[in-house]
Chain A
Amino acid sequence: MNSAIAPTLPPSEGALDRRSFLRLSALAGGGFMLGFYLKSAGTALAEEVGAASPGEFVPNNYLRIAPDGTVTIFSTRPEIGQGIKTSLPMLVAEELDVDWASVKVMSAVLDQTSGNPNPQSAGGSTSTPQSFNQMRQLGAGARAVLVEAAAQTWGVPAAECSTAHGEVRHVASGKKLAYGSLVAKAATLPPPTGVTLKDPKDFKIIGTRVSGVDNPALVTGQPLFGIDVKVPGMAYAILEKCPVFGGTAVSANLDEVKKLPGVKDAFILTGVRGVASGVAIVANSTWAAFSARQQLKVTWNEGGGANQSWTEMTRQAQAAGAQAADGDGDVFVGAAKVIEATYSFPYISHANLEPQNCTAHVTADSAEIWVPTQNPPSAVNSVAGATGLTAAQIKVHVTRSGGGFGRRLQTEYAAEAAAISQKAGMPVKLTWSREDDLRHDLYRPAGFNFLRGAVDAAGKISAWRDLAVTFGGGGGGGRGGRGGGAMLLPPGAGAVFAQAAAPGAAGAAPARGGARGGGARGGGARGGGGFPGGFVQNFSTRGAQVASNVPTTAWRAPGDCTAMWVSQSFLDELAHAAGRDPLEFKLEHLGAGPAGAYRDRVIPVVKLAAEKLGWGAKLPKGRGQGIAFSFSHQGYVAHAVEVTVSPAGKLKVDRVVSAVDVGSVIVNLSGAENQVEGSVVDALSTLMFPALNIEKGRIVQSNFDEYELLRMPDAPAKIEVHFLKTNNGPTGLGEPAFSALAPAVCNAIFAATGIRVRELPLSRTSLKWS
């Protein structure tokens, strides 16, 4: 590995020590077994800056304790704004029984060699459920060794010792020893054979409000992000790609561009694995690269995607919808009331505020990269694919990410940076422009849902059919990520292709569906599972796909983020069709559904949100209440909202009450509330503003003037978050609170105005009333 480069970033980065590694394995049937295995020293990562100092106690790869008592905890999960760099170390510190103020948190480089049972990735709100007990055991194991060290020093049984505030105490004699004074002895002791975790009632750190560990650096502008990286000898690069997905660069005025001020090199990249064809410019500053790009003239082979348009895709989706009734049979015959509705939502971008970027230094036999990513192992694959190097030759530094939202699970920008560095023969930082980011994202899938529902004479839902039309099958323009849908359609598209009607399994908490992140999922209905599947008679979903090569991937609460809007809005429509109070109607249908975790957990959050809002208040026209619920990414959430719509159609969300069940423990109360608040406002933003249009195979929008997101004046005045603690394992919060917000607001808009919003974004529907 090339270790000559001393990055200015990330400043806090250190290596995981190789000397030992703690392996944890969960045993079925309860309880955890702790086992250590020693890792040999001498791997590349052992040379990293930050290797343990002599005299430190290094019980495992995640933790060091210095003789002065300083506790260093390595954060292995990428920080993308979800607060994991703070919350997971809190778990270690809690069980180690040290004061949070004595803890220093450092980012870890990607550990490719350990067989790490704790993945170094961040996605799907999985970090907390996967790591909650692992992190606690890391702390508890180290604590056990320190207790043993003290017990041997005093010649007393370890069982007579206790810990608190970074000290071991012998209760009977009143003796105390600080952890720092025990590290030399602890380092000589064998690992513990088992550990006992704290009773949650004894938690001192878990459940408190802890300010993010990077906050002091963030508010003083210190380098933390990928785009802040600077390494010696580094050049600055751009990559101009074909505006049409799947198009390739044929030729460019490279000789002219190379003569421009500050330009070091310019070349066509094509046929590089994992890299969209384009033209790279390498310069001595970001601005020199951006400026030279203005003079770049490229001849493209736009390929077959150049005829795509959103108008045509919409037409084909509507044509597919015309066949929606084909499979209905006679389930709607004899219903008291039948309603039909078409819901639609556009492609949108992740729009991470930090544009995609990566710094790469590729040599003949090594690559070192600094990358903002949710998925460091994927970055290794991207770089290996682009350069021909092996994974063992690639070192990945994971920086803080300026937003994730699923986008940074894909790492093609790392492949691009590596390919440019390799060809230019120097370290480069590749920076995407905002325009690149909007036009070369992998998007949230667009979709149409054609719904038909019926209520019987008793006011109960008697049938619910949903045809979900997605877009995809065109290979995503040769890009990574997932296609817009699961199956290819014959040319001409539009035919209904699949039956996917199995109702949700009764009983146990529903598993996630198989169509994660891809197209609008069947029916907009199953989502993360649960209602209406298994709760509604004659429920069926089918799918159809319209051909598209627009690349898509996971977008915050993938699938659920649109599916819940559709199903929870339509449920509200059925309640009104039945002439019932929506809350009563929803609770009645949930209560009559199959017993099990879903029913047991979703009903209480619905009731709590409604109660805290003051459901049923008499409001004048123009004001209304709405409620919606979801099970998404293992969390149960209900949002109850109150809105005002002016006669001119201006929406103001006055109040949001969120009831959230993510299990028995909230790790960091501040961070958890922040995730819910952010999910609420992000979901409101996504409801109100963003949409991408496609013409001639190109994304039309280019920057935030055309691609709008919510700004402060439209943020709700008040968001109240209520955590309902239940006897279930703690689960994540990056996504669960997103999906029920938009339907809650739309249901409130209907209550206020009688106008039903069936097309996203909201700006396409006039909310004027008189």
Chain B
Amino acid sequence: MSDFLHFSEHTLQEVALSFMALVYITRLIWLLHFAAGRERQAPTGSKDTNPTKGFIYSWANIAMPWAMESTRTKFFLYLQFVSFHLGVTAAIALSFVIPYAPSLLDSPALVILLQTIIGLAFIVGVMRIIRRVAGPYMRAISSPDDYFSLLLLTVWFAFAFLSVPNSTAGGEWHLIIYFILTAFFLAYVPFSKISHYLYYPFTRYYLGKTMGRRGVYPVRRIPRSDTTRTVQ
């Protein structure tokens, strides 16, 4: 391993991680300085639910494609979402496994599993780029940050895929690029839309709490096929 690769895997990552943590803490403090709106009214809607159930349902929404019409009716897009985010998780995990627990990658099964997950995420990334560029609705709502983040993540997936075996037999360049990209992401993410995962717990918590208090969450629906059922 060259000194530069070692630097990329360790020092660079640690600095970038510290920077990200600092920026995130600053960001959270900023977000929390806004007062949370207070709900004064007595609960409405079904007595079976409450704010706690509401926000748990809201948080779990990510794993319940049937819960929203937008994911229920576009299941393929939901599968893409799952593949893409599993790929992100795997690629992040890889950036810790390679420097701190490389022996794990001696397992061919784990290598194949990670490459499958990251490879699928790469394909989804390409599909998402096409969707964003080709669709007039997506183009209309996209900013340079949207295009850049997606493009960069897709490229990152490609290098993560190549880096999974942690082999330098064919050279170190793929590992170096992967770690430099990872470090770049750590520094860039707090300023880009990729930081959405930081806000997800907030938005979902508050929406879920409100909707739980008002008896809307968990959503109750009767499928169209069940024409005989009425609520009594």
Q: Is A bound to B?
A: no
